[in-house]
Amino acid sequence: MVTLTEGMHEGEFIGELAMGLGYHVDEITVLSGENLVAGAVLGKVTASGKYVAYDNTGTDDGRRTAAGILVAAVDASAGDVVGRAMLRGPAVINKNDLTWAAGIDAAEQTAALAELLANNGIKAV
């Protein structure tokens, strides 16, 4: 018997929005080289304004600060790609449905979620 594994669905992490989806979701540019799934926590590269996977131990170019959450999967392996991300609240999200770059531990996740609340009005429960 074949085992099927269901991936993350578009916007699955969203719990409650104060003003509707259109207010909370913006088009972004995902930096070339990234291949991200829905629910990926994002950092924003300061110099280019493009988004990458949040990485608290990576290069200190903006990716160490949580800046939003990717709504739908984006494969930018071959070049920059336009995607959609939740960048502002007020909103409540399910933290169990978020995806993190490899190596991001529980303490780093907690810090990133605190940044999303303080800077973006996105509360994770």
The domain tally of the chain equals 1
Looking up residue 81, the CATH number of its domain turns out to be: 2.40.300.10
Judged on CB neighbours under 10 Å (0-12, 13-18, 19+), 111 is: middle
So what's the pLDDT on residue 24?
Answer: 72
Pick the range with the lowest mean pLDDT from 2-11, 35-44, 74-83, 91-100: 2-11
Full domain range(s) for residue 119: 14-124
Domain for residue 8, yes or no? no
Of the candidates 71, 56, 60, which has an alpha carbon nearest to the alpha carbon of residue 101?
Answer: 56
- Dihedral (CA of 44, 61, 56, 33) sign: positive
- Contact criterion met (CB below 8 Å) for 118 and 85: no
Domain for residue 5, yes or no? no
Residue whose pair of structure tokens reads 């290069």 in the numeric block: 59
Of the candidates 19, 18, 17, 8, which has an alpha carbon nearest to the alpha carbon of residue 41?
Answer: 8
Beta strands 122-124 and 51-53, pairing class: unpaired
Domain for residue 55, yes or no? yes
pLDDT tens sequence across 59-94: 889 999 999 999 999 999 999 999 999 888 788 888
